[in-house]
Amino acid sequence: MNTEEIVQKVKDLIGEGNVEKAKQFLEEHKDEIGEQYEKLKGMIPDIDTGGLADKVKNFFK
């Protein structure tokens, strides 16, 4: 895969809500994308889904 394909796959996974799969995919291809790795890693939201759900619940109480 080239860099553009990897970037698109990461974006697609994030768009589908598969943040963990996006992180894993990026890790697996980190050697292929070189310098772009850190930039792409920074665009993946660091979401703790359990914590997020708790925050949303507490918001409506």
pTM to 2 decimals?
A: 0.66
Which amino acid, residue 8? Q
Q: Which residues of the chain have pLDDT under 50?
A: 48-53, 55-59, 61
- From residue 52, alpha-carbon distances to 7, 10, 18, 34 in Å are 26, 22, 15, 32
**pLDDT tens-place string over residues 48-60:** 444 444 544 444 5
Which among 17, 9, 16 is positioned nearest to 40, based on CA atoms? 9
Do 17 and 48 form a contact (C-beta atoms < 8 A)?
Answer: no
Do 37 and 30 form a contact (C-beta atoms < 8 A)?
Answer: yes
